Amino acid sequence: MAQDINLLILPGDGIGTEVMAQVRRVTDWIGTNQGITFNIEEDLVGGCSIDAHGTSLTDECMAKAMAADAVLLGAVGGPKWDKVDFDIRPEAGLLRLRKDMGLFANLRPAICFDALVDASSLKPDLISGLDIMIVRELTGGVYFGEPRGITDLPDGQRRGVNTQVYDTEEIRRVVRVAFDLALQRDGRVTSCDKANVMESGILWREEATWVHENEAQYADIELSHMYADNAAMQLVRQPKQFDVIVTDNLFGDILSDTAAMLTGSLGMLPSASLGAPDESGVAKAMYEPVHGSAPDIAGQNLANPIASILSFAMALRYSFNLGAEADLIEKSVENVLAEGYRTGDIMQPGMNQTTTTGMGDAIIVALDKLAG
Ligand code: IPM
Ligand code: MG
């Protein structure tokens, strides 16, 4: 069935532009070969938008994001903008997109491809077959809590304040997302908090338990609780003990970077950020790699485009119900890795080191082969 999809692509800064150029090749391929029309618009976010417009996200760009069927984002930030005002820093544009689109559930799957078992810093048997889903709360907690700021104290010192704050429903809705995902997987959810130190952590634990005990559809879920520091340790000690992890914005930021490295490289990890479905069942969504703008390798055709390409696959799966097309992309990535293609971040002895565009070429060839 022919389908029309409106995408907003925001390449952003640093390697964002290079990796998103490879995503464009994959959207073109899926469009041409699977009978889908992608209406694609591009705009600026982050430092490049500061340079062009004096703000990391214009209202026009925000409006386009609200109107799009999905947003694909590259990465934001870089040393060039280290000194700009905190309120307009590159990251502020990304945070506004998340907040104003209501993208409270951030899905970060950490899957270790067989071909990359030796690229991880962990022993192969610890990570072979690894398949974890981290669900990070994305629009609340200390990232957005008030009061916040830096104030001058009477004695000449300064004080920096941020507030960790969560309300009942903010916790329950993201826990439900984790439970729904777990129902499609192994049925186990580990909720991570610091209930031993923080009242917001006690509430987190109580509300996660409440959903589990009161919503009948989750009766078969196995819910356990873990302190977030212990979870960080367990992720490198015995990562395969986890199925789905659900946690707050800050702990999720940290735990997902750890989980990413288990898969061999930050350059491999995609993510989906989803809002609540509206009356017609459609949810706002943004898809982005977990990695940042990597200014040290930007502009050199060295970056790994796989995390961004897999993020597009997540868009097909979660926003457009195009699971078969998503499978095709994921399978093509698996195949190029099995054939030995590696960008620098996942390079191993005996493999075939390639560039950003070279990896894009290989993935297109693999897609062609799969389509037969
Ligand atoms: C991430 C990033 C962002 C975050 C930054 C760029 C604001 O680290 O998506 O994990 O802290 O959420
Ligand atoms: Mg992060």
Looking at all shown ligands, the one closest to residue 95's CA atom is 1
Task: Indicate the number of domains in the chain.
Answer: 2
Q: Name the residue at shortest CA distance from atom 4 of ligand 1.
A: 253
Using a 6 Å cutoff on CB, does residue 94 contact ligand 1? yes
The CA 44 to ligand 2 mean position distance, Å, reads 20
Q: Are residues 363 and 237 in the same domain?
A: no
Write out the catalytic residue numbers: 143, 194, 229, 253, 257
The CA 368 to ligand 1 mean position distance, Å, reads 34
The CA 217 to ligand 2 mean position distance, Å, reads 32
Looking at all shown ligands, the one closest to residue 12's CA atom is 1
| Residue 261 confidence (pLDDT) | 86
Q: Are residues 339 and 248 in the same domain?
A: no
* CATH code for the domain in which residue 164 is found: 3.40.718.10
Q: Are residues 324 and 228 in the same domain?
A: no
Q: Name the residue at shortest CA distance from atom 5 of ligand 1.
A: 91
Query: For the CA atoms of 33, 35, 40, 46, what is the dihedral angle to 10 degrees?
Result: -60
Q: Are residues 223 and 100 in the same domain?
A: no
Q: Are residues 150 and 229 in the same domain?
A: yes
Looking at all shown ligands, the one closest to residue 271's CA atom is 1
| Residue 133 confidence (pLDDT) | 98
The CA 219 to ligand 2 mean position distance, Å, reads 32
The CA 268 to ligand 2 mean position distance, Å, reads 14
Task: Please list the residues that pair with 135 across neighbouring strands.
Answer: 107, 246
From 238, 269, 300, the end of a domain falls on 269
Using a 6 Å cutoff on CB, does residue 339 contact ligand 1? no
Q: Name the residue at shortest CA distance from atom 11 of ligand 1.
A: 253
- Angstrom distances, CA of residue 151 to CA of 82, 164, 165: 21, 18, 20
| Residue 2 confidence (pLDDT) | 60
The CA 249 to ligand 2 mean position distance, Å, reads 10
Q: Are residues 238 and 157 in the same domain?
A: yes
Using a 6 Å cutoff on CB, does residue 91 contact ligand 1? yes
Q: Are residues 96 and 187 in the same domain?
A: no
Contact 86, 51 (CB under 8 A): no
Question: How many beta carbons lie within 10 A of that of residue 347, not counting itself?
Answer: 14
> Which residues of the chain fall below pLDDT 50?
none
Using a 6 Å cutoff on CB, does residue 288 contact ligand 1? no
From 207, 241, 269, the end of a domain falls on 269
Using a 6 Å cutoff on CB, does residue 261 contact ligand 1? no
CB within 8 A of 77, min separation 6: which ones? 13, 14, 46, 47, 89, 90, 91, 292, 293, 295
Task: Please list the residues that pair with 38 across neighbouring strands.
Answer: 5
Using a 6 Å cutoff on CB, does residue 253 contact ligand 1? yes
Q: Which two tokens stand for residue 18?
A: 């290079």
Q: Are residues 120 and 215 in the same domain?
A: yes
Using a 6 Å cutoff on CB, does residue 248 contact ligand 1? no
| Residue 3 confidence (pLDDT) | 79
Q: Are residues 32 and 138 in the same domain?
A: no
* Each residue's pLDDT tens digit, 195-244: 999 999 999 999 999 999 999 999 999 999 999 999 999 999 999 999 99
The answer to pTM > 0.85 is yes
CB within 8 A of 87, min separation 6: which ones? none
- Angstrom distances, CA of residue 45 to CA of 32, 98, 145, 159, 169: 28, 13, 23, 30, 30
From 250, 269, 288, the end of a domain falls on 269
Q: Mind spelling out the 3-state secondary structure of the chain? A: CCEEEEEEEEEECCHHHHHHHHHHHHHHHHHHHHCEEEEEEECCCCHHHHHHHCCCCCHHHHHHHHHCCEEEEEECCCHHHCCCCHHHCHHHHHHHHHHHCCCCEEEEEEECCHHHCCCCCCCHHHHCCCEEEEEEECCCHHHCCCCCEEEECCCCCEEEECCCCCCHHHHHHHHHHHHHHHHCCCCEEEEEECCCCCHHHHHHHHHHHHHHHHCHHHCCCEEEEEEHHHHHHHHHHCHHHCCEEEECHHHHHHHHHHHHHHCCCHHHCEEEEECCCCCCCCCCEEEEECCCCCCCCCCCCCCCCHHHHHHHHHHHHHHHCCHHHHHHHHHHHHHHHHCCEECHHHCCCCCEECCHHHHHHHHHHHHHHHHC
| Residue 126 confidence (pLDDT) | 95
**C-alpha 91: how far from its chain's center?**
15
Cα separation, 352 vs 342, whole angstroms: 6
| Residue 266 confidence (pLDDT) | 87
Q: Name the residue at shortest CA distance from atom 12 of ligand 1.
A: 253
Q: Are residues 228 and 164 in the same domain?
A: yes
Range of the domain at 94: 1-104+275-372
Candidate from 87, 253, 291 with most ligand 1 atoms within 8 A of CB, to mutate: 253
Q: Name the residue at shortest CA distance from atom 9 of ligand 1.
A: 290
Q: Are residues 265 and 319 in the same domain?
A: no
Q: Are residues 48 and 134 in the same domain?
A: no
